Amino acid sequence: MRSKKSIGIIGCGWLGKPLSCELANDFAVECFSREDTTDTSAFWQSDTIIIAIHTKDNYIKTLQKILTLAKPTSNFVLMSSTSIYREFDSAVDESAIITKTSLIKEAEDLLLNSKRSVLVLRLGGLMGEDRVAGRWKSATDFSDGFVNYIHRDDVINIVKLMMQKGITEGVYNLVAPNHPLRSEIHQKNSEDFGFALGTFEGMTNRVIISDKLVKDLDYTFLHPNPLNFWS
């Protein structure tokens, strides 16, 4: 009987924890632990290492250390962000040439130039469950525009399918195919969840396209329309 392929997840939080539970049905999954995972732990022998950490706390140095500690044949999945496209104000896909430097771009370049098998997933605004668009503790003023959101369920499902299909390289946008206005979503959520509606000024036209993902995976989104993420 063939042993299950191993997956190590660094960043078992709001996204990583439920992802680890879902992947555990088909793979041997281990979550990185600040307390228990040492530099010599078996964790670093994982066939695939998924990196789902925040861009703070010495992000680049952390990525460099991960590359050093992982076994030479490990594949990497980097949970990146569509914020890499901030210089654009129109429809954009993975073929876009990114010219503005950012921490996200630096991180992607580091891994993509590492001579490893690297899968970069550029996540849209992560929503679903307790993350309700418009219900923020501090922000009340917003720029309107077409949202580029994705539901957590879809991220988990997409990663699972990619792991099952053995996709280990490439850059993919993970964004729901429908792009309603931010003001529309906030209006609906303010009525459904009973919070005060903020104010809107200005308009952004950035629409991030995920056609490559749909084509390569033959994927149908579980939650295609952000207006219905919390229904």
At 18-52, the pLDDT tens digits run 999 999 999 999 999 999 999 999 999 999 999 99
Query: How many CA atoms does the CB half-sphere of 166 hold within 13 Å?
Result: 1
| 2 band by pLDDT with thresholds 50, 70 and 90 | low
What is the rounded distance in angstroms from the CA atom of residue 31 to the CA atom of residue 17? 8
pLDDT in tens, 50-83: 999 999 879 999 999 999 999 999 999 999 999 9
Alpha-carbon torsion 175, 178, 181, 184, what sign? negative
Return the pLDDT at 146: 97
What is the rounded distance in angstroms from the CA atom of residue 129 to the CA atom of residue 137? 17
What is the rounded distance in angstroms from the CA atom of residue 34 to the CA atom of residue 36? 6
The amino acid present at 79, given as its one-letter code, is M
Alpha-carbon torsion 150, 226, 138, 131, what sign? negative
Return the pLDDT at 57: 77
| 113 band by pLDDT with thresholds 50, 70 and 90 | very high
Return the pLDDT at 140: 86
Provide the mean pLDDT of the chain: 96
Return the pLDDT at 172: 98
pLDDT in tens, 203-218: 999 999 999 999 999 9
What is the rounded distance in angstroms from the CA atom of residue 93 to the CA atom of residue 71? 32
For 117: left if phi > 0, alpha if psi spans -120 to 50, otherwise beta; the answer is beta
How large a percentage of the chain has pLDDT more than 90?
93
C-beta separation of 223 from 229 below 8 A: yes
Return the pLDDT at 56: 85
> Among all chains, which residue has been given the structure tokens 């579980």?
222
pLDDT in tens, 175-214: 999 999 999 999 999 999 999 999 999 999 999 999 999 9
φ/ψ of residue 217, rounded to 5: -100, -5
